[in-house]
Structure 1
C-alpha cells in the first residue's frame, strides 16, 4: 500500500478535483497519474463525491493516495472511510475531525491560517498543515511560520498556487502544494488536465 508520506515524497503535489463527476473520475485520474501525481482529493461539495472517491480508490489501489476534501465534521469522515479513501482534507482546523480521521487510519490535512492553529493541528495529529488560503499567506508569512514550527512539519500552501509561484513558496519552507482550479475545473477535458498537470509537475521537479 502506498503511504501518504511516501506519495508526497515522490511528488509533493495534491490534485484538488472540485466539481469532478463520477463518470469522468477515472479518465482524469489516469492523466494525473501519468503526469506524476500520486495524491488526489475530491471535495465533498462535488457531484456525488463518494462515488468518484470509491471508483478512484478501486482503480488506483496501491498506486495513488485518494482522499476527500472540504470535510467539515466527523460524520463526513465516517462516510469517506467507507470508500476506502486514505486522506481527509479540510479548509479549517477542527480537532474532532482530526481525531475521527486518525481513528479511521487515514491521513489528516486540516486547513490553518495562523501559527496558533498550526501548532494546535499538529498536536491533534495532523500529518500535513494546509496553509489556506495561500493568497493570504505569501512566502514571507510561510517563512515566518517555518521558523517556529517543528522542522518535520509538512507545510502545504493551498489556494492560488501556480507553476510560477511555487518556487517562492518552496524557498520560504513549503514542503508540498495543493493545486485546485489552476489544475482542474469542471468541463476540462482529460487532455487539458494533462497539459496543466505537466506544467505543475515540471515546476515541482525544478
Structure 2
C-alpha cells in the first residue's frame, strides 16, 4: 500500500519538507535541490498561492522520485481537491475527524495535528498512523518527552519552529521525524536560486536528525 511506503520514506530520512509561499514556477527547482540533498517527502501547504498547480507539477515531474503531499488541509473539500491533484498524503493543522475519514476512505496517509492526550488517543482510535505535534517549538521538547512516558508506542512528528538548533533535541526526545518549513526552504536562497546551498542545508537537517535519533528509539506506526 502506498501509505506504508510514504511512512517508510519519512522514517528513513527523518524529514518532511514543508513548501509554504513558494511560487508554482519555483517549486520544481526547489524540489530538485531538496531531492539532491536527500529529501524524499515534501508537502505543499494549502495556504500557498497556486497550491494545486504546484502539487500537480510536482507529481508529474518528480512523482517517481519523491512522495508529494498537501499540508494545511482544513476541511474535506480541500482534502478531495489535493488528492485529485495527486497528493499521496495529507497533513492538517488540527484534528478533524471528517478529514481523517475522507483521507482514509481513499487509502491515503493522513497526519493530523494533535496536542492533548485526548486528541492523540482519539486519533489513534480512528486508525491514524502518524501524529503531527503542532506547534512543536511552542510546546517544547520536554512536552514530547513527557508524552513518550505513557504513550511511548506513538509515532510523533514535531512541526512548527523546527530549526537546526533544536532538531537534534527533538530527535533525542523520540520524534519519529520532523516537519521543517522556512528554516529549510529559505526564502533568500530561493530568491537567489542558490540551489546548491539549499541542497547542502537539506543534507545538514537530515544528518543532524538521523545522528541524534538513538538506535533503540523504536517508533512504530500505530
- Give the TM-score band, short-chain normalised: over 0.9
Question: Displacement of 1:196 after TM fit?
Answer: 2.5
Deviation string for 1:99-122 (max 9, x for gaps)? 111112211111111111111112
Q: Is the Cα–Cα contact under 8 Å of residues 157 and 174 in structure 1 kept in the other structure? A: yes
Name the CA distance, whole Å, in 2 between partners of 1:17 and 1:84. 16
Deviation string for 1:72-131 (max 9, x for gaps)? 000111101111211101000001111111112211111111111111112222221100
1:98 and 2:100 aligned: yes
Question: Displacement of 1:186 after TM fit?
Answer: 4.2
Name the CA distance, whole Å, in 1 between partners of 2:101 and 2:186. 31
Residue 168 of structure 1: aligned partner: 169
1:204 and 2:209 aligned: yes
Name the CA distance, whole Å, in 2 between partners of 1:48 and 1:199. 29
More displaced stretch, 15-24 vs 181-190: 181-190
Alignment of 1:1-206 (within 5 A): 3-149=5-151, 151=153, 153-186=154-187, 188=190, 189-191=193-195, 192-206=197-211
Aligned residues: 205
Name the CA distance, whole Å, in 1 between partners of 2:187 and 2:81. 24
Name the CA distance, whole Å, in 2 between partners of 1:142 and 1:179. 17
Name the CA distance, whole Å, in 2 between partners of 1:17 and 1:29. 9
TM-score, structure 2 as length reference: 0.86
Q: Is the Cα–Cα contact under 8 Å of residues 15 and 41 in structure 1 kept in the other structure? A: yes
TM-score, structure 1 as length reference: 0.93
Q: Is the Cα–Cα contact under 8 Å of residues 17 and 42 in structure 2 kept in the other structure? A: yes
Q: Is the Cα–Cα contact under 8 Å of residues 182 and 196 in structure 1 kept in the other structure? A: no
CA RMSD of aligned residues (A): 1.6
SS in 2 for 1:3: helix
Question: Displacement of 1:193 after TM fit?
Answer: 2.6
Q: Is the Cα–Cα contact under 8 Å of residues 119 and 149 in structure 1 kept in the other structure? A: no
- What residue ranges of structure 1 are gaps of 5+ in the alignment? none
